[in-house]
Amino acid sequence: MLSLSAMGVLLALCGGAFSHTYHLGACPVVEPMPGFEMNKLLGVWYVIQKTSTASHCLTYNYTKTDEPGKYEIEQVSQHFILGLTPLKHDYRYTGTLRVIDPAVPARMKVNFPLSVAGSASYTVVMTDYTSHAVIFTCQKLAFAHRRSATILSRTKELDRIYLDKMRNKLAAYGVDPYDLSIISQSDCPSLNNSEGVNINIEPDTFSSHNIGQAVRKTGSAIADGVEYVVEAGKTVYHKVANSKEDLTESPSGRAHSLKDEVEWLP
């Protein structure tokens, strides 16, 4: 629906103001994990700490695609704006990951639908696949870059020993530990929760096909609206002229609702 799609775009753009920090110069050189195996990283991870974010109940889900070296990452969270309301919701933001060099699988590129600056580097710094992982992303800008670090766990809580080890690792690459926000994983809905509002921003959300469909539906709705107004004018005219013809039905011969027609991005 129009309102839900617009809300998704707004929230995604608002979310873009968080989850990273800005720095001058080029992205720092971050060593990818040697011997990394992406297949072992697949599945659901809980975000324990992340650079400057206000969202909570944040999880990542890594899945394979049919294309070799291409994966999807779905971020599910309780958005910080909607979190201020009693509205039950899931905010889902799906991007694509690509392995650039098969010899270095821990160094990838990530792209999200609403990222105006394009793709960003996505480096797996360390992981044991079963309990914890560290991700470092960086996106080049004109004369600067923006970076983000994420600490993941297979469970909702992570032992302090692992946390200290990973924070120290990130500090070696210039990540200030105080820039890492603690993500609350308490009182969160189940991962398969279907209640409330589901806001999905996916790679195909803004495809030419979906945009075309939106334009066609919108154009059709506008045309129907103009026709409806014209016919309504005729109805008024005939009533004023004491005509026997009573044009009180919609032009299409059925109950007509613009709200039902204007469904934007599916």
Please state which of the four CATH numbers 3.30.70.260, 3.10.270.10, 2.40.128.20, 1.10.287.1260 is assigned to the domain occupying 2-201. 2.40.128.20
Model confidence at 56, in pLDDT bands (50, 70, 90)? confident
Residue pLDDT, tens place only, 198-237: 556 555 544 444 444 434 443 443 344 434 333 444 443 3
The candidate with the shortest Cα–Cα distance to 25, out of 195, 197, 233, 174, is: 174
The candidate with the shortest Cα–Cα distance to 179, out of 21, 59, 15, 47, is: 21
Query: What average pLDDT does range 128-152 have in this prediction?
Result: 96
The pLDDT of residue 177 is above 70: yes
Model confidence at 197, in pLDDT bands (50, 70, 90)? very low
The pLDDT of residue 239 is above 50: no
pLDDT at residue 73, rounded to an integer: 97
* Cα–Cα distance, 126 to 132 (Å, whole number): 8
- What are the φ and ψ backbone dihedral angles of 242, each rounded to 5 degrees? 60, 35
Residue pLDDT, tens place only, 91-109: 888 999 999 999 999 999 9
* Cα–Cα distance, 174 to 91 (Å, whole number): 30
Rounded to 5°, the CA angle 45-95-27 comes to 90
* Cα–Cα distance, 165 to 188 (Å, whole number): 27
The pLDDT of residue 145 is above 50: yes
40: Cβ contacts below 8 Å, ≥ 6 apart: 129
pLDDT at residue 192, rounded to an integer: 63
pLDDT at residue 93, rounded to an integer: 87
Contact 73, 90 (CB under 8 A): no
pLDDT at residue 117, rounded to an integer: 62
Query: What average pLDDT does range 128-140 have in this prediction?
Result: 97
Model confidence at 257, in pLDDT bands (50, 70, 90)? very low
The candidate with the shortest Cα–Cα distance to 154, out of 136, 133, 170, is: 133
Query: Model pTM?
Result: 0.67
What's the Cα-to-Cα distance from 96 to each of 61, 157, 204, rounded to whole Å? 11, 27, 11
Lowest model confidence (mean pLDDT) among 13-17, 244-248, 257-261: 257-261
